[in-house]
Structure 1
């Protein structure tokens, strides 16, 4: 079966248990010649087998089963086993301790509330079997203390199993999640180091051609000052030169490894406005409210991280023939958020799942910029959230940590 491993193991165990139960009933009745309600026991085992077949059919192609389904399966196991025990001696049956098995399975398969439910159900089943025992069985050879002691031992065993195994299972899952996060961060750091080296090399290689183009432009402008095409070359050349200078300044600041400082939010908003006006003059930034007069944690990488998101939004607008980007601020006590909304086609479900955590191949250039922005914001104790707007387009929510006086 291609199904959830937990459900698959449970169904395999139940299949084996049904076979053993059937063999045990037949052996006890025909070989040992004990007087047991054969037909009633066979009927219960048959019902359990039918339930097993239905469960196998229901979960044969379920890759991840819900916890409620697991609890239903364990509940059925406790009930079937309780009925079988009640028909074959009740609390005096030597196999009554099998009621501990559902508790063990629940301890490694479900959360704490589900584990508590199965433990209480199993203890209640044992208690009911003990209560339903005939009085002559209890007084025969003065076995009352023995059966009560067995019940107390079962309660203690069930509680210890639920507590110890459940705690160990939660600790194991927590450690696995921590290891997975560390592994993901390490992989992402390795990717960023590789990208950093490639970016520095490309920037160094582009510096000389851009300088030569600037010289050629100046000579052409002197020879043909009225040529429209030549004059239009000035703006993109200036943008390239500005970006290279900004990259050099940024690299110099990062090499000093200065601690995280603070940035005044109104000043950051003005820098965003000026940078977007230079790079995307055709796009209109619509500020829906003013920036709060607070300081946020930041360094030299904060502005480029936000500009990466704005550039992606502008690209989405251009692809959908839109010219407006809506920006708004949301402030709280410890953080402030910048919401960037474009009017493009929005994100696909795959992009929403992977953007910010992995490098993605994309014709529109999305993926790498979002990854770099996400890493920067996380380092500055902020976060990045991407989602689609109900009225169309996409929204990038940038959360920034407010710098309090205590910080």
Structure 2
């Protein structure tokens, strides 16, 4: 097994692997002492302790072979190692055993695998174990008094525990936080690359549509002059005007995003704009609104040109989810929570899965979650907001947009 494979293991897997090696070494050491070294140590208790350790090890391996272990389970495994090592030391010289410093090993493993509180419990267990071994020593019969020496060994062990707990634990947490930060940065970079690709593709499509649309407008004007009363010609006017307006609106949005135009608006204004957009796009939708009893007069939130379209994307997802369930009702809520304005949209569809719940990645979806959801989430993040998706306790899904309050 390579070092990379060992690093890729979970904490419980590393503990079980190291204990397997430790059991083999313990058996070899006991048998070697019994066969080749003169001793006054009873071997049978040591073999019984190792037998119990093997049984515990096999049960642990069976339990955590195909499941994820919690931090409490990892701490229990580390404490069990301390117990077995203490028992082995107790029957082989106690605190005078040359291998008593092995009690530091569970602390080292805990320092890189456990949170601070759990690590403190494991460290305290090792110190108590060493203290028990020291107190159980019989009166020394040598001419030289070894009591001070053993107490010094105990102090040295205590200092080693403190150093390992603080230094190794702190370094492990720093490395973990750095790896998480690098992973978040890599994820943000990938998401930014996806957004840039989508923006470039949208700009190309808009540019390619502009010229044909202008030609169609000229042809329409010529045909309308020759056949002003033709019904087919009249029917072309509205679609062409819609395409022209949407193209101009897209140019305005692109300009606003490029110039980073952000303004502070009232949540009530945004809420009203959402209801207006809903009535225009989905006139048959039954929109039920809920506004918390709070004074929104002096509250402002940051907004840009993409905030309203981003929330409308969530509203469109809710409408699609309702269509699959045959329901025509959406709940729109506005509230305040811990310095943030919360805008919630609840549908009555079949709910969401874990993949769509993150909203940060571009995923394939037949339920309305995908590119639009990722674009909406990027808009909220640009405004220091947050999007969270969850299933309602009764029926459907809830999309909650959390936007921070700003000074007006």
| Residue 376 (structure 1) aligns with | 379
Q: Distance in 2 between matches of 1:340 and 1:215?
A: 43
Per the TM alignment, residue 348 of structure 1 is displaced from its structure 2 partner at its CA by 2.2
Per the TM alignment, residue 215 of structure 1 is displaced from its structure 2 partner at its CA by 5.9
**Deviation per CA, 1:156-208, whole angstroms, max 9, x where unpaired?**
11111111100000000010111111111111111111110101111222234
Q: Which moved more, 1:275-284 or 1:334-343?
A: 275-284
| Residue 329 (structure 2) aligns with | 324
Matched-pair contact (CA < 8 Å) for 1:221–1:230: no
Per the TM alignment, residue 309 of structure 1 is displaced from its structure 2 partner at its CA by 1.3
SS across alignment from 2:345: strand
Query: TM-score scaled to structure 2, two decimals?
Result: 0.90
Per the TM alignment, residue 212 of structure 1 is displaced from its structure 2 partner at its CA by 5.0
| Residue 167 (structure 1) aligns with | 170
| Residue 272 (structure 1) aligns with | 274
Matched-pair contact (CA < 8 Å) for 1:239–1:279: no
| Residue 307 (structure 1) aligns with | 312
Match of 1:263 among 249, 262, 265: 265
SS across alignment from 2:406: coil
Per the TM alignment, residue 226 of structure 1 is displaced from its structure 2 partner at its CA by 8.0
Q: Distance in 1 between matches of 2:210 and 2:10?
A: 56
| Residue 178 (structure 1) aligns with | 181
Q: Kindly report which structure 2 residues correspond to 1:232-311, keeping only aligned pairs within 5 A, or say none.
A: 235-258=238-261, 260-289=262-291, 292-293=296-297, 294-311=299-316
Matched-pair contact (CA < 8 Å) for 2:307–2:380: yes
| Residue 144 (structure 2) aligns with | 141
Per the TM alignment, residue 109 of structure 1 is displaced from its structure 2 partner at its CA by 1.2
| Residue 117 (structure 2) aligns with | 113
| Residue 66 (structure 2) aligns with | 61
Per the TM alignment, residue 232 of structure 1 is displaced from its structure 2 partner at its CA by 6.0
| Residue 187 (structure 1) aligns with | 190
| Residue 98 (structure 2) aligns with | 94
Q: Distance in 1 between matches of 2:333 and 2:369?
A: 22
Q: Distance in 1 between matches of 2:147 and 2:333?
A: 75
Cα distance change of structure 1 residues 207 and 270 upon mapping to structure 2, 3 Å threshold = farther
Matched-pair contact (CA < 8 Å) for 2:33–2:39: yes
Q: Distance in 2 between matches of 1:34 and 1:343?
A: 77
Cα distance change of structure 1 residues 256 and 17 upon mapping to structure 2, 3 Å threshold = closer
Cα distance change of structure 1 residues 31 and 97 upon mapping to structure 2, 3 Å threshold = same
Q: Distance in 2 between matches of 1:341 and 1:142?
A: 78
**Deviation per CA, 1:116-139, whole angstroms, max 9, x where unpaired?**
1111111101101110111245x7
Matched-pair contact (CA < 8 Å) for 1:329–1:336: yes
Cα distance change of structure 1 residues 280 and 41 upon mapping to structure 2, 3 Å threshold = same
| Residue 43 (structure 2) aligns with | 38
Matched-pair contact (CA < 8 Å) for 1:305–1:373: yes
Q: Distance in 2 between matches of 1:389 and 1:67?
A: 30
Q: Distance in 1 between matches of 2:9 and 2:282?
A: 50
Per the TM alignment, residue 56 of structure 1 is displaced from its structure 2 partner at its CA by 2.0
Q: Which moved more, 1:309-318 or 1:35-44?
A: 309-318
Unpaired runs of 5+ residues, structure 2, are none
Q: Distance in 2 between matches of 1:397 and 1:5?
A: 34
Unpaired runs of 5+ residues, structure 1, are none
Q: Distance in 1 between matches of 2:235 and 2:396?
A: 32
Matched-pair contact (CA < 8 Å) for 1:263–1:299: no
| Residue 157 (structure 1) aligns with | 160
Q: Kindly report which structure 2 residues correspond to 1:178-217, keeping only aligned pairs within 5 A, or say none.
A: 178-212=181-215
Q: Distance in 1 between matches of 2:70 and 2:182?
A: 24
SS across alignment from 2:283: coil
Per the TM alignment, residue 55 of structure 1 is displaced from its structure 2 partner at its CA by 1.9
| Residue 107 (structure 2) aligns with | 103
Match of 1:128 among 103, 116, 132: 132
Q: Distance in 2 between matches of 1:289 and 1:7?
A: 48
Q: Distance in 1 between matches of 2:243 and 2:283?
A: 15
Cα distance change of structure 1 residues 236 and 306 upon mapping to structure 2, 3 Å threshold = farther
